Amino acid sequence: MTQPILLFPGQGAQLPGMGRDLADADAEAMDLWKQAERCSGLPLREIYWEGDEAAMSDTRALQPALTVVGLNLWRAVSGRVRPCGAAGHSLGEYNALAAADVLSPQSVLEITALRGRLMAEADPQGLGGMAAILKLEQPQVEALVEETLADAAGPLRIANYNTPTQFVISGAKEAVALACRKAKEHKGRGLELKVSGAFHSPLLAEANRELGAQLRKAVWRKPRFPVYSNVTGKAVRDGESARETMLEQMTSAVLWMDAVRSQYADGARRWLELGPKALLGKMVAPCFSSLADPATLRIDLVCDGESAAALEN
């Protein structure tokens, strides 16, 4: 097939039963679920194949479980796909690194299990939150954050730059709620997210330091193809640079829009999303509002064994 950019989603992509069909059909895929359960100490298959929505949203379980799904989807298509690059949104960046052979599957399972636990423990009182800010452009969102900070509602920052009119803010819950109200006043929309903390903000500094020790112990190899960093929005082409950017990732903003534009500048015209449902593919074309013909961009989704088998060349 035409060389695509692989896309791996992060938290929010989970679905009941995700990954089960591949695991039932492939012993190696099932083994990865078992490895993730050993790393996390949690019954992930029971949670995602039989559990309820609340259990599935727990970041301690969600991070290693989504990582397994991404690993297995890549295994399912890797024999027929020759990527020109990869990118993952937040947690999904670890899947991108695994696909490019920067980190081993075992390493990303260990790291994401620890990452989930640390992020869950970083805010035991639930003081932090996040919200999507829609229908406003970047200068307006930046002004909105500054206006909220001026009201001394607590720390707040832009955490995700997804598209020209889709951003995510992160910080103290009171500040997030106030910013959502202000967004409505400015003819935008604020939607508070069901998350367990202020991800991609300095409020996770201590958790990031603890995760850093695990990242430094891992073996980082040269990518087989470029991995586009959340932290810089640019391609990472060696293992040391990959490690250094990931040491900052948990507390840095996700520059997704910059990363997609870098991919296009490097020649990408096709993207292949590997996740339980379509999320990231929808954020590609909006990054190119000046593009004369968005139809020149092709987005495919592989979400299960059936769609992997049906993947067109």
Catalytic annotation on 186?
Answer: no
Q: What pLDDT, in 10s, does the model give residues 15-38?
A: 999 999 999 999 999 999 999 999
Distance CA 143, CA 148 (A): 9
Tokens read off for 150: 């001026």
CA Rg value for the chain: 19
Domains and CATH numbers, the chain: 5-122+202-310 (3.40.366.10), 128-193 (3.30.70.250)
Instruction: State yes or no: is 252 an active-site residue.
Output: no
What pLDDT is stored for residue 294 in this prediction? Answer: 64
For residue 190, what are the β-bridge partners?
A: 133
Strand partners, 160: 168, 254
pLDDT in tens, 93-118: 999 999 999 999 999 999 999 999 99
Cα 229–chain centre separation: 11
On average, the pLDDT of the chain sits at 95
Residue type, 279: L
pLDDT by residue (tens digit) across 131-156?
Answer: 999 999 999 999 999 999 999 778 99
Q: Rounded to 5 degrees, what are φ and ψ at 265?
A: -60, -30
Catalytic residue among 200, 201, 229, 262: 200
pTM, full prediction: 0.96
